[in-house]
Amino acid sequence: MKFLYAPRQPFVGLSLAAAIGITIADVFPLPGAALVAVTIILAICTVIVACRPTLVATYAIVGVGFLLLHSFETSNTEGQRLADELGGRPRVVTAIGCVITEPKIAPSGFASFLLKLDSIEFEGRRQPTRAVWQVRWKGAPEFGDELKLFGIAEVIEPPRNPGEFDMRSYLASHDVRRMLFVRYIEDGTLIRRGGGNPILRLAQKSRAWMQNALCRGLENAPEVQNFLSGIVLGLRHQTPEDIEEPFQQTGTLHLFAVAGLHVGIIAALLWMLAMVARLSRKWAAALIIPLLLFYAAVTGLHVSSVRAAVMSSVLLGGLFFERKVFVLNSLAAAAFFLLCWNTNELFSTGFQLSFAVVGAIILLADPFAEFLQRWTAPDPFLPRSLLRGPRLRMHAAFEWLCRGTGVSLAAWAGSLPLVLWYFYIVTPISLVANLIVVPIAFFILAIALLSLLSTPLLPGLAVIFNNGNWLLAQIVIGIVQFLANVPGGHFYVEHPHWPEKLVAKITVLDVGAGAAVHLQTGSANWLFDCGNERNYQRVVREYLHWAGINRLSGLLLSHGDALHLGGTTQLLDDFPRIRVVDNAAPDHSAVHRRLQQLFREHGIEPDNLAAGDSFRLSPDVTARVLFPPRNFSSPVADDQASVIHLLVAPATWILFMSDSGIKTEQALLASGLNLQSDIIIKGQHHSGESGSDAFLDATRPRLIIATSRDFPDYERISDAWVEKVRQRGIKLLRQDNAGAVTVSFRQDSWEAQSYLTGEILRSSNH
């Protein structure tokens, strides 16, 4: 607490008071009348404190001031008022506004960007507004363009599965409440170019020029182009996921987020150039400060880059005014000014990570380094001047290593709680990876700066510099990919929750018309299908990380439908040592045949199980295959889908139907098997027909978990079938309304919960 009362570090206390006030306002929002009363009281207290100032009273006034500021910023906003007027259903609108972010082009060709509205037209009337919407359009807009767009204003969907990024909450924190979907290019019209903030527009154009300059001569190496664009200019969205993931697993992903490391290196390089040019310290500081702020604008004005630029400017400002500066006070000043700009930044992941890491480095790096140096320090009674030759160089190398390790350890310790909370990953290998990769990153940025300086005058020399960066980029990518595969170098940790004593837990993920079901029992983790390639990347993999799954016991493939098994190739890359249980029936699926070829290449011998076969998933869970018989053939893949009967000890039965239809149900009824089940997990047959009266009579389920989608029509559950299920007293959780469904099994009961609505069904209450 001594920092609160340090007379030369006032921003430490001010930033803490601001954070406390914002947090209170967010947890306990005040009504309008209370806001007016608090504002009047604050004004009176401010006048009193101005006459008789005290430190505690000043901090209290700052805290209350930020409480009011956050309350006014988050209540009755433009975006919220417009969303309330449009209601909770999609609306056809015509919108006119200005592009205020750089458009990001998806592989599908749609550009995503934020549009600050001037007006919207719906239901025959035009209404002015200053709200901000997210837009998806297949056009080619640029920052600052004024557009007229015709499309559908949709409510932004919340996450439907555990582990998914909550885009709705993220955009709501920026008062973005609607997404405008513009289906066709011709539904958008360019009114004029050159709008928006002129400084940001110049920064965008400068970034495009810099990217072209840095990538010149590297046309045949797109991977390196994306890497250099990310590490130098912060263009992380252009970096492929297969490159980005190893950096996350080694704790070096911060290289793609322009932050203190990048700004510090750029400041150091600019300072060197200023010294070479024989500028005075004052003139050097006066020149470098605006360049650092412009670099933050060029790299996208992300929180980390703005924080680093403001902090560096405060430090360099001390040189300009010949005043002693304190690093911790400069960090707190950066936090204070950012919160003045936008109080919601306090709750952003980038803000929290950025300040936690730098704060930990300031407070802990030196103590860690001093502790490590005790093991390598020479005889304390031996004068330093007597060290000579190799011993002196060895001692200097050990000192550098201890300082670097201290910084790396402090950064790791500062980020660990937040990384666990937001990303569920622990990366011990980062302590080594950062020691190796960060020095190389210094040279990459230095060479990039030389390339940018030489491009206008000596483009041939710039190409040489770029090829030097190509070599360094290949070295960094190779080192990171190697360290990402070190056993124990990284692992995922389950999200924090109260421990439960369960026999088993089944999570039916919402992956559209496909399927991905996770069964956890004891130490065993099984997947029944894994969705298609896109859903595996965006839903299944993120869920497995959220659940802390570092090893899968097995994968069961129900049938040759790409929506059910299309993500298997990527899953095998993530979990190479996995047992595969495959459908024994021959089919005509090209995707399935390619997977079987992949199994042979990887030396995987699947267990081809058919009707009558059983296998044990754990001591408490047994699976029995009911369908199809071995060598069963059908021209329709859904008619060959595996039907699995699961017994969760002591006496709970689950029937996994996949996309089986009426024909499969008739075959099961004719077999004379006992089909009674407590829970049925099913998809939709391509004919749209499943769940017949006779089959429901035979199974007598308490709960049905079923996929349902509006398109195509056969993937949607019919209203008539829903009514039939309701009349039988069966609880139906349809995933278009419920999202993912988690079923927890105890010794004498089970409980099902919808992720989207929070609805809970208990077997004891049924």
Question: Mutual orientation of helices 10-27 and 327-341 as an angle, nearest 10°?
Answer: 40
Higher local confidence (pLDDT), 766 or 416: 416
Measured between alpha carbons, how far is 112 from 101 in angstroms, rounded to an integer?
9
CA angle 128, 129, 134 (to 5 degrees): 130
pLDDT at 722 exceeding the cut of 90: yes
pLDDT of residue 386: 57
Asked if omega into 628 is within 30° of 0 (cis), the reply is yes
Q: Which residue has the tokens 């309008």?
A: 32
Per-residue confidence at 4, pLDDT binned at 50, 70, 90?
very low
Query: Across residues 362-373, what is the average pLDDT?
Result: 85
Per-residue confidence at 228, pLDDT binned at 50, 70, 90?
confident
Pick from 27-36, 75-84, 624-633: least confident: 27-36
Kindly report the pTM of this predicted structure: 0.87
Q: Are residues 676 and 700 in contact, defined by beta-carbon separation less than 8 angstroms?
A: yes
From the CB of residue 242, how many other CB atoms can be counted at a distance below 10 Å? 11
Dihedral of alpha carbons 599, 243, 437, 375, sign? negative
Q: What b/e sequence results for 32-56 when a residue is b if at least 16 CB atoms lie within 10 Å of its CB, and e otherwise?
A: eeebeebeeebeeeeeeeeeeeeee
Measured between alpha carbons, how far is 1 from 21 in angstroms, rounded to an integer?
18
Measured between alpha carbons, how far is 171 from 176 in angstroms, rounded to an integer?
5
Dihedral of alpha carbons 538, 536, 225, 486, sign? positive
Per-residue confidence at 677, pLDDT binned at 50, 70, 90?
very high
pLDDT of residue 383: 59
pLDDT of residue 162: 95
**Encoding tokens for residue 751?**
């409980």
pLDDT of residue 101: 85
- Distance, C-alpha 698 to centroid of its chain: 45
Per-residue confidence at 375, pLDDT binned at 50, 70, 90?
low
> DSSP character for 537?
I
Q: Which residue has the tokens 């006032």?
A: 10
pLDDT of residue 3: 47
Tell me the CATH architecture of domain 78-196.
Beta Barrel (2.40)
Which stretch, 94-108, 273-287, 620-634, has highest mean pLDDT? 620-634
Measured between alpha carbons, how far is 33 from 279 in angstroms, rounded to an integer?
57
pLDDT of residue 661: 94
Measured between alpha carbons, how far is 141 from 102 in angstroms, rounded to an integer?
9
Q: In whole numbers, what is the pLDDT of the chain averaged over residues?
A: 87
pLDDT of residue 2: 47
In this structure, the strands spanning 579-583 and 554-556 are parallel
Q: Are residues 587 and 560 in contact, defined by beta-carbon separation less than 8 angstroms?
A: yes
Higher local confidence (pLDDT), 438 or 662: 662
Instruction: List pLDDT tens digits, range 519-542.
Output: 999 889 999 999 999 999 999 999
Per-residue confidence at 699, pLDDT binned at 50, 70, 90?
very high
DSSP-derived 3-state class of residue 625: strand
Residue 84 burial by Cβ neighbours in a 10 Å radius (0-12, 13-18, 19+): exposed
Which stretch, 132-141, 252-261, 262-271, has highest mean pLDDT? 132-141
Residue 558: phi and psi, rounded to 5, are -80, -45
CATH topology of domain 494-765: Metallo-beta-lactamase; Chain A (3.60.15)
pLDDT of residue 8: 65
Measured between alpha carbons, how far is 327 from 366 in angstroms, rounded to an integer?
13
Q: Which stretches of 651-747 are DSSP H helices?
A: 662-671, 693-699, 719-727, 735-738
DSSP-derived 3-state class of residue 84: helix
Query: Across residues 48-75, what is the average pLDDT?
Result: 83
pLDDT of residue 41: 79
Higher local confidence (pLDDT), 379 or 302: 302
**Encoding tokens for residue 326?**
């304190």
Per-residue confidence at 412, pLDDT binned at 50, 70, 90?
confident
Percent of the chain topping pLDDT 70:
93
Per-residue confidence at 457, pLDDT binned at 50, 70, 90?
confident
DSSP-derived 3-state class of residue 324: coil
The answer for residues whose C-beta is within 8 angstroms of residue 478's C-beta and 6 or more apart is none
Q: Are residues 543 and 163 in contact, defined by beta-carbon separation less than 8 angstroms?
A: yes
Higher local confidence (pLDDT), 37 or 488: 488
Dihedral of alpha carbons 253, 259, 260, 265, sign? positive
pLDDT at 706 exceeding the cut of 70: yes
**Encoding tokens for residue 757?**
């609505």
Instruction: List pLDDT tens digits, range 304-335.
Output: 777 777 777 777 776 666 666 677 888 888 88
pLDDT at 654 exceeding the cut of 80: yes
pLDDT of residue 277: 79
